[in-house]
Amino acid sequence: MNWKKISSEYISKHQYFTARKDACQMPDGTVVPEYFVVELPTSACALAITEDNKVILVKQYRYPLEEVILEIPGGFIDQGESPEKGMARELLEETGYGFSSVEYVGKVAANPGVLNNYTQLFLATGGKKIAGQSLDHYEEIEVLLYPVEEVRAMLKRNEFIQALHVCCMMYAFERLDKISG
């Protein structure tokens, strides 16, 4: 079932966009002369809930879509960093909140036909504002707090369009329901 890589050539090598063109051979002998793969670091996102039961959402402009969208916090995990530590770091950097618990709820592959990375999914609870934002140079993120039930309703109404975040929210709400009762 596995394909054999015949050759590989990088066409872009950048921290956030590394792409290569491979030639592969399928198990039946068929050669695929050009298969393009985008290499990305592991990413993570979290349904983050404060100690007073509010969901932390972030609003930011997404250039490829040319629109401002509502998301949950997330980002790339640094090399050598555990996903849990990376998620806690991203939460603190983007929102200024620290959490008493950052629990793994699953992983997803955004587009395994082209992308080679996974996104780790978390439920963060017990959030408390402990710092200001510490954003990357090109980030502009507005932090918003919403009641948990309102976010559940927004999810059902398809108000979140970031697919990885939707998956995370679904798994995290499922976990939250098991914890609650």
pLDDT per residue as tens digits for the range 46-83: 999 999 999 999 999 999 999 999 999 999 999 999 99
Task: Give me the pLDDT at residue 176, please.
Answer: 95
Task: Give me the pLDDT at residue 136, please.
Answer: 86
In whole angstroms, give the CA distance from residue 70 to residue 153. 14
Q: pTM for this structure? A: 0.93
The DSSP call for residue 171 is: H
**What single letter denotes the amino acid at residue 112?**
P
Task: Give me the pLDDT at residue 30, please.
Answer: 96
Q: How do the domains of the chain map onto residue ranges? A: 4-39, 43-180
Overall average pLDDT of the 25-30 stretch: 96
Distances in Å between the alpha carbon of 24 and those of 38, 111, 117? 16, 19, 19
Asked if 57 and 70 touch (Cβ cutoff 8 Å), the reply is: yes
Tens of pLDDT, residue by residue over 3-16, are 999 999 999 998 77
- Residue 119 reports pLDDT greater than 80: yes
Task: Give me the pLDDT at residue 16, please.
Answer: 74
3-state per-residue secondary structure call for 42-105: CEEEEEEEECCCEEEEEEEEECCCCEEEEECCEEECCCCCCHHHHHHHHHHHHHCEECCEEEEE
Residue 127's nearest CA partner among 150, 104, 148, 99 is 99
Overall average pLDDT of the 129-138 stretch: 92
**Superfamily of domain covering 43-180:** Nucleoside Triphosphate Pyrophosphohydrolase (3.90.79.10)
- Mean pLDDT value across the chain: 96
- Residue 171 reports pLDDT greater than 80: yes
Task: Give me the pLDDT at residue 54, please.
Answer: 98
Task: Give me the pLDDT at residue 174, please.
Answer: 97
Overall average pLDDT of the 148-167 stretch: 97
- Residue 100 reports pLDDT greater than 90: yes
Overall average pLDDT of the 142-165 stretch: 97
Written as six digits, the tokens of 107 are 């992983």
- Residue 181 reports pLDDT greater than 80: no
